[in-house]
Structure 1
């Protein structure tokens, strides 16, 4: 049992290791819609590694979140996102924005439903929610 411990630690330590092109770069940790990413930027490429556990996420929603995370960190427009649920690569279009981070206007929110506000009308259910800025 104990002879496998170094292997297990090595595998766990590699979970958010940067790809070869991004090695040695500092990561910026950012949360977008409940997904936490470590984002690294080099040139016209950005890498977003999702570091929080999520049950069976599809790449569709993760792709959009990773793109928004890369845009916020780089200050550039993300033209394409490739990869999978754990590691995404973004193609950036900076056109004069390089080195100048654009102000981030979007705010991450933590929202919870308000008990007792559930309303069912015409087969759909609505509920009131309260939101606070995420820290």
Structure 2
């Protein structure tokens, strides 16, 4: 987002490339529910920011539903990344000391990437993972 360039935190030069540019071997399978695909794409984009590639075969979750926060955190750990599942309120999101993209899992099974925040203006910048 162009507004993130003028704000503290991440800017366009260090935001990961859109997940749609991921190699075909990393993309979720077409038979998975849309929410599951979006969650996986968000995790892939966040991992790429750190120069890591997530191996889809390492993800352990049941098919037919979006992967849980715990399953996604375990997947990141297997690739040497730090990850933590937590429930945050709006004030906590705005108040984060954000240095890298954060995957936000939504109640509807989808996901977004939190790419910047502004504590003074009570704003966050998000990007869809597609």
Q: Same fold (TM over 0.5)?
A: no
TM-score (norm 1): 0.25
From the two aligned structures, give the one with the greater strand fraction.
1
Computing the radius of gyration over CA atoms, which structure comes out larger, 1 or 2?
1
TM-score (norm 2): 0.26
Higher relative contact order (CA 8 A, sep 6+): 2
